[in-house]
Amino acid sequence: MEQNKLDSSQIIGFLFLIGAFLWMFMFQPDFDEENKITNDVIQENIDNQNDYESTENFNSNLITDNSIKENQLIVLENNDVKFIISTKGAQINEGVLKNYKNQEENDLKIIDNNQVFSFEFNTLSNQPFNSNNLFFDYTENETNLGKEINLRYVNDSGEKMIFNYFLPKNGYLLKLKVKTIGFNNLIGRNSKIDLNWNFDSFRNSKSQDYENRYTYLNYQDKDQDVKDLSAYSEDDDVDSAKWISYGQHFFNSILIFNNVKDDIEFTSLNLESDSNDRKFLKRFKSKIPINYNQGGEIDENFEWYIGPNDYYIIKDYDYKISDSIWFGWGIFGWINKSIFFPLYNFLSNHFSAGIAIIIMVILTRLVMSPVQYKMYLSQAKMKILKPEIAAATEKYKDDPMKRQQETMKIYNQAGANPLQGCLPAFIQLPVFYALFCFFPVAFALRGESFLWAEDLSTFDVIAELPFYIPLYGDHISLFPILAGVTMFFYTSMSGSQQMQPTQPGMPNMKYIMYIIPFSLLIFFNNFASGLSLYYTISNILTIIIMLTVKNVILDEKKILLEIEENKKKPKTEGRFQRRLRKLQEAAEQAQKQQKQRNK
């Protein structure tokens, strides 16, 4: 048998295979590293797609070249709002609410080169960086969901800053994403990044003082409580916030963060406060510290409501931004939000604004009529007891303590209580104050006319004055005059039924009868005519109810018989009356002891 052996070619081939295997084993790139490189490339592509939220390549849609340092304006609009965005700073230069007009009947612009929105920090070389000074390239992309504008700045070293605006087909909520790529090479770990949002609010109403009163900065803090800066004077604060609202009476600009921002510096300043024809009312400033992400980059998502301060529009958005509307504090705000706003919204869907207000007056007065009846009944009892009270006052005119005791005795025997006449009035106060807060924020009144009033959300004018009167203005409004006149008749009629105070130092109702109507006439001259209309109708209806109750429902003879019957009944002191009697007796005893010591 032939012996098997390896020839030289086989040996060479075998050695070659061994060498090839060793080379592959020793010099093959690490599989994990290769995957990492591949994944990084894929992730960068995904990031680029996410940055622009478009499947199209950025360069294929490139409209401007970064080397061309000129400003271009881009239109971003939907059915409700139109924005013009500048490639310089990626700023919103103009914001137009397409469904609303200003006082000159022109397109209402919330933003018109009156806003700054910029990121600022110092670089590692201590050079100031301000995104407002950068020129951006941009692309546009429109889908069935809405339209987006992608703006990108690239510096000479390849670092990028990207602004992505997205506006849906309908509504007032603009979405903004801001991120950087490679800025960790520019930003030091100890550097502070600030977002500065400055805004000058336009005057959009005839009454600048009235509008300025409801133009203010507020924000939702980390505990979801809404806090306000003063609307009447310059103010500042440092606090955390989930969103910041620059309220402009009937319009608003609300910036919503993706997370709560801490140590925000808020400032509110009055502008041109000495002018009677102001273009701007207030300047709002917010300096917002921005934290960079783990990679040392800016990566922020914002939602930006720019639209009407209409409760029935703004309440449909998240994060309780409708709380930026001030309905009144405590129970007054609850009454407005739960009763008057739904009631007026229902009525205004079926009637004109003026008729809706009148019906709201009638319904409110009917609901409050039982309270008024109690008040008028108490006044009738006081009128019957007036001769006895006057006699007791004359008898003990030199002894105030005894006079007070005798007066309380007469009330107790007759079954009357002077507080019964005051309590109904106090019960009505929350309702009336809630209405006072309702009309300034009732967006539905804006632009609605009634009789001679062209706009129920601001004052009516029947005559212009050639001069300005402090507190009154430079015009004459008719509705406040009617409110003052009807209030005068009401206070005159109700005052004639009330007893004048017998205690020294107590105010005389005759003076109050003139002060209240005069105050209405002066201060309501610059208020919403809808408010004056409400009080005018309310006063007329109150007079009618008062005459009906006193002349038809109440019978003074029956009330007198009731008082006489009460006097015959044995009386037991209540806890309050007993305590009051003991206090009076203790005070009387102290007076006697003091007199004895003086002797």
* CATH label of the domain that carries residue 89: 2.70.98.90
Question: Could you tell me the residue range of the domain that residue 301 belongs to?
Answer: 62-326
* Mean pLDDT of the 332-360 span: 92
**Predicted pLDDT of residue 3:** 37
Query: Are residue 141 and residue 222 in the same domain, yes or no?
Result: yes
Query: Are residue 265 and residue 345 in the same domain, yes or no?
Result: no
pLDDT tens readout for residues 153-187: 998 888 899 999 999 999 999 999 999 998 888 88
* Mean pLDDT of the 410-431 span: 66
Q: 191: alpha, beta or left, given left = phi > 0 and alpha = psi -120 to 50?
A: beta
Q: Which pairs count as long-range contacts for 79-83, CB under 8 Å and 24+ apart, including other chains?
A: 79/169, 79/170, 80/170, 80/171, 80/172, 80/307, 81/167, 81/172, 81/174, 81/306, 81/307, 83/111, 83/165, 83/167, 83/174, 83/306
Q: Would you call 159 exposed, middle or buried from its count of C-beta atoms within 10 A (0-12, 13-18, 19+)? A: middle
* Integer Cα distance of 581 and 395 in angstroms: 20
Provide the pLDDT confidence category of residue 16 given band limits of 50, 70 and 90: very low
* Integer Cα distance of 592 and 586 in angstroms: 10
Please indicate, yes or no, if residue 535 is contained in any of the structural domains: yes
Q: Tokens for 527?
A: 């208020």
**Predicted pLDDT of residue 497:** 52
**Predicted pLDDT of residue 422:** 62
3 against 401, higher pLDDT: 401
* Mean pLDDT of the 444-454 span: 91
Query: Are residue 363 and residue 319 in the same domain, yes or no?
Result: no
Q: Tokens for 588?
A: 């009387």
Please indicate, yes or no, if residue 391 is contained in any of the structural domains: yes
Tally Cβ neighbours within 10 Å of residue 151. 24
Given a contact cutoff of 8 angstroms between Cβ atoms, the answer to whether 506 and 521 are in contact is no
> Which residues are registered as beta bridge partners of 176?
165, 302
* Number of folded domains that form the chain: 2
**Predicted pLDDT of residue 572:** 59
**Predicted pLDDT of residue 219:** 95
Tally Cβ neighbours within 10 Å of residue 80. 19
Query: Are residue 81 and residue 127 in the same domain, yes or no?
Result: yes
* Integer Cα distance of 550 and 249 in angstroms: 43
Strand 160-168 versus strand 280-290 pairing type: unpaired
Query: Are residue 244 and residue 290 in the same domain, yes or no?
Result: yes
Name the least confident of 5-9, 165-169, 422-426, 519-523. 5-9
Q: Which DSSP category does 174 fall into? A: E
388 against 462, higher pLDDT: 462
Please indicate, yes or no, if residue 505 is contained in any of the structural domains: yes
Res 319 pLDDT > 50 = yes
pLDDT tens readout for residues 180-211: 998 888 887 678 899 999 999 998 888 888 88
* Integer Cα distance of 301 and 395 in angstroms: 80
Residues 6+ apart with CB under 8 A from 87: 64, 71, 72, 73, 74, 135, 136, 137, 138, 151
> Which residues are registered as beta bridge partners of 101?
107
Query: Are residue 321 and residue 353 in the same domain, yes or no?
Result: no
Provide the pLDDT confidence category of residue 365 given band limits of 50, 70 and 90: confident
Please indicate, yes or no, if residue 2 is contained in any of the structural domains: no
- Helix, strand, coil abundance in the chain, percent, nearest 5: 45, 25, 30
Strand 251-270 versus strand 235-248 pairing type: antiparallel
| Greatest alpha-carbon span in the chain | 159
Query: Are residue 142 and residue 235 in the same domain, yes or no?
Result: yes
**Predicted pLDDT of residue 368:** 81
Count of CA atoms in the C-beta half-sphere (13 A) of 82: 11
> Which residues are registered as beta bridge partners of 264?
239
Q: Which DSSP category does 599 fall into? A: -
The last residue of a domain, from among 270, 302, 326: 326
Please indicate, yes or no, if residue 35 is contained in any of the structural domains: no
Res 12 pLDDT > 60 = no
Res 139 pLDDT > 50 = yes
* Mean pLDDT of the 586-599 span: 69
* Mean pLDDT of the 552-569 span: 66
Res 322 pLDDT > 60 = yes
Res 284 pLDDT > 90 = yes
What are the DSSP E strand ranges found in 188-298? 193-202, 215-220, 226-228, 235-248, 251-270, 280-290
Tally Cβ neighbours within 10 Å of residue 30. 8
Query: Are residue 168 and residue 231 in the same domain, yes or no?
Result: yes
Please indicate, yes or no, if residue 415 is contained in any of the structural domains: yes
Given a contact cutoff of 8 angstroms between Cβ atoms, the answer to whether 250 and 444 are in contact is no
Average pLDDT, the chain: 79
Please indicate, yes or no, if residue 597 is contained in any of the structural domains: no
Query: Are residue 320 and residue 370 in the same domain, yes or no?
Result: no
Q: Tokens for 377?
A: 């009944």
Positive or negative: CA dihedral 184, 188, 192, 197: negative
Strands across the sheet with 92-101, in order?
73-77, 81-86, 92-101, 107-112
Provide the pLDDT confidence category of residue 530 given band limits of 50, 70 and 90: very high
* Integer Cα distance of 347 and 28 in angstroms: 81
Phi, psi for 291 (deg, rounded to 5): -90, 135
pLDDT tens readout for residues 46-92: 344 344 333 333 333 333 344 457 889 999 999 999 999 999 999 99
Residues 6+ apart with CB under 8 A from 384: 556, 559, 560, 563
* Mean pLDDT of the 384-413 span: 71
Res 443 pLDDT > 80 = yes
**Predicted pLDDT of residue 259:** 93
Provide DSSP, 141-160: EE-SSEEEEEEEEE-TTS-E
* Integer Cα distance of 355 and 362 in angstroms: 11
Given a contact cutoff of 8 angstroms between Cβ atoms, the answer to whether 111 and 93 are in contact is yes
Q: Which pairs count as long-range contacts for 293-298, CB under 8 Å and 24+ apart, including other chains?
A: 295/184, 296/183, 296/184, 296/187, 296/189, 297/179, 297/180, 297/181, 297/182, 297/183, 297/184, 298/119, 298/161, 298/178, 298/179, 298/180, 298/183, 298/193
Query: Are residue 365 and residue 243 in the same domain, yes or no?
Result: no
Res 1 pLDDT > 50 = no
Query: Are residue 314 and residue 356 in the same domain, yes or no?
Result: no
The last residue of a domain, from among 303, 326, 349: 326
Tally Cβ neighbours within 10 Å of residue 9. 8
* Integer Cα distance of 306 and 78 in angstroms: 13
**Predicted pLDDT of residue 272:** 74
* Integer Cα distance of 4 and 498 in angstroms: 138
Query: Are residue 113 and residue 135 in the same domain, yes or no?
Result: yes
The last residue of a domain, from among 326, 360, 386: 326
Please indicate, yes or no, if residue 240 is contained in any of the structural domains: yes
Phi, psi for 160 (deg, rounded to 5): -125, 150
Q: Which of 268-277, 495-504, 556-565 has the highest mean pLDDT?
A: 268-277
* Mean pLDDT of the 227-241 span: 90
